[in-house]
Structure 1
Amino acid sequence: MLLSRYERMIARRYLLPGRSEAFIAVVAGFSLVAVMLGVAALIVVMSVMNGFRAELFDKISGLNGHAVINGYGGQVRDWRNVLDEVKKTPGVTSATPLIEQPLFASFNGRVEFALVRGMRVEDIRDNPTLKGKEVVGSFKRLTPGSEQIAIGSRLAESLGATIGSEIAIINPQGVATPFGTNMRIVKYRIAAIFEVGVYDYDKAFIIMPMEDAQTLLLLGDAVGMIRIDTVNPDKVGEILAPLEDKVNDKGQITDWRQMNRELFEALSVDRIVSFTILSIILLVASFNIVSSLIMLVRAKTRDIAVLRTMGATRGGLMRIFVTVGTTIGALGVGAGGILAFFFITFRMQVVWFIGAVTGQKVWDPEMRFLTELPAKTDPFQTFAICAMALLFAFLATLYPAWKAASTDPVQVLRYE
């Protein structure tokens, strides 16, 4: 929208009203603030929702893979041949054998639920989710037969154990005797304490070499499942479809969507609901722009009539008021983007500050799965939010601009 020189001058003058129009300036300021808050809230909330989904998916898939082959009866006996078959499948990037069993861990009289996972030593050290996540100790100390394990930081805290502590792992399915089944209790020394950032994992996971897990669970040479990673997690079903017939007699394929369907569907619904509700703020801001422009038109009725008598066109007047309203919206969008950047960058400090002021635990890992508030800003999504805010601001200017352009100079100046 191109403006002539006088149109730009008048639009600039109306953006900075005089003392007699201070109330109009206050209303316009509220409109700008409303747009700023709406844009900032949308960008921050959508970034947090995107970050929550991405972080959760990375952590879950990092430990559980994009899919797993669960053996019938909890065991895959011919796992080496199955592993070779999986690796030959186009689109599969890696496949690793796993043993996973819910058991109990005990230390100094305390007993906690634990999820024992057995992995090959090289898989433990190369796993991207575990790599570098040691709080104390090192995964390098885990070797077959060493009777050393790594446990999650929250589990260590619950047990009161630390590096070097000797904890007992209790397997209720022990050895059968004439007097019943004796629970199998084996003691291991903690070689590493890790924190992956997912509360449920840090609260329960115990990682040990696969050979030690086989001995603990009396599995012989069998494993419990085979973890699979693919080139595209969104197409994991298509990639693994040819594999189903080949491993159907060995186990069942379950992908990440089936394992975490409820969680990710809830996140998707939450994103849509949050976006819809927060968009109402932008609508309210648009109504504020309408109100401030209508007040400005009423205050400038005589000026508009004079401009019309001097040759100003209806289109020119519309352009002036559209420019005024759109500029307020654009300034609000810019300020909202800066505010959103501030909140996203210092999000944890903001959470701690709110918690200190209210005395409440704002971010509880037990409820939120992740130990820290994540954020991942999508540039396209941010652009769409800003464009939507500008569109609302533009539409809000049309009616006041039309009213200004419809002013009849004869009626206004009749008694002047």
Structure 2
Amino acid sequence: MTLTRASVVIVSRGRPETLALCLAGVARLRNAEYEVIVVADSKGIEAAQALPFSTHLKLVRFDRANISEARNLGVAEAAGDVVAFIDDDAVPEPRWLEHLVRPFEDARVAATGGFVRGRNGISFQWKARVVDATGRAYPARVDEERPTVLIPPQGRAVKTEGTNMAVRRDLLAGMGGFDPAYRFFLDETDLNMRLANAGHATAVVPMAEVHHAYAPSVRRTADRAVTDLHEIGASKMVFLRKHCPDQALWPGLIDEMRRAEKRRLLQQMVDGRAEPRDVRITLAGFDAGVEEGRTRPVVPAVPIPAPPRGFQPFPSRATGTVETLAGRIWSRGRLQREAARRAEYGTTVSVYVFSHTALYHSVRFLPNGVWYQRGGLWGRSEREDPVWQWWRFSNRVKRESGRSAHCR
């Protein structure tokens, strides 16, 4: 068990339902000493206050569309040794924080970042990546069973995802936190570059996993169709101004990004998720954002002061054992009821329900604290699995529960 105290910061705006689910997951973290800080708009604060453990939360009301400012307010309240970040549309695995914080026992480590699973709860959105001074990200090879401490070469940084990262509190506060010039997008990447330029190491922690749903926002619809690229363009331009001194490269880099976004928008149109006019309007927003980014003020960072309140330990609801329930599709109701009963008493419980089909698998976290996986007994779970494969029921349960054993 780690001895490092962590402050978990969650920023939320316009998504009270997903915030409540995120908090339900954070409330069941295992093997970690932590406090929870929520920076949210009025509806988000109300959603947090409606939860049974609301008195154990540090709540900060904030309603501007600037994720960097919001995160800095969270850092200002953080009294832990490290500050961990997770998005309001994500849910952590029970041992997420335990794994994410442990590498800080190495004095060289300034920051950590974990792996991110996507909407089906199985496939990965992001693993290990590095980023260069142009903002381009590249896959990095790391050991996927233990933390890897990296000090990248000059001009590169280890990229951490804003929904799954942690930084030493004193270092982050001394650097002024996140740059408010990034209202959305590349905010954590800018921090990664600043850390790397100062010679700090970052640990990639594969077993620190979160599930990220890409919930609807003012920039995308429920089916993940992009509707607004203004801040993407603005942040890209700010990033180039700060980290890419060769201005001759800027036009080509902006054009490269614009073409990539256009391809994505055209694919949305082909898929029936956008109209032709939407492509034109959204790209115009990108262009306007780039122009604004050329002159958006970038002011010197101001250190964030010590928190006004002391560390407020959160009493995790995961106070019991780790258990697995499994059965065929016709027993799912009974299994879910039994799992909910056990979760109520502090058990970390996973339910596996298989049909006699080859349906693909999915994993989701339920508001009552249960991890629920369903799919065909002979269907695919991991992306590289065959579409159909023969399994005995007991072997399939063993395989699927073993896949998540390290993080639950």
Sort the TM-score into its range (normalised by shorter chain). Answer: under 0.3
What TM-score does the superposition give when structure 1 sets the normalisation length?
0.23
Structure possessing the higher relative contact order (Cα contacts under 8 Å, 6 or more residues apart): 1
Q: Which has the larger radius of gyration?
A: 1
Bigger helix fraction? 1
What TM-score does the superposition give when structure 2 sets the normalisation length?
0.23
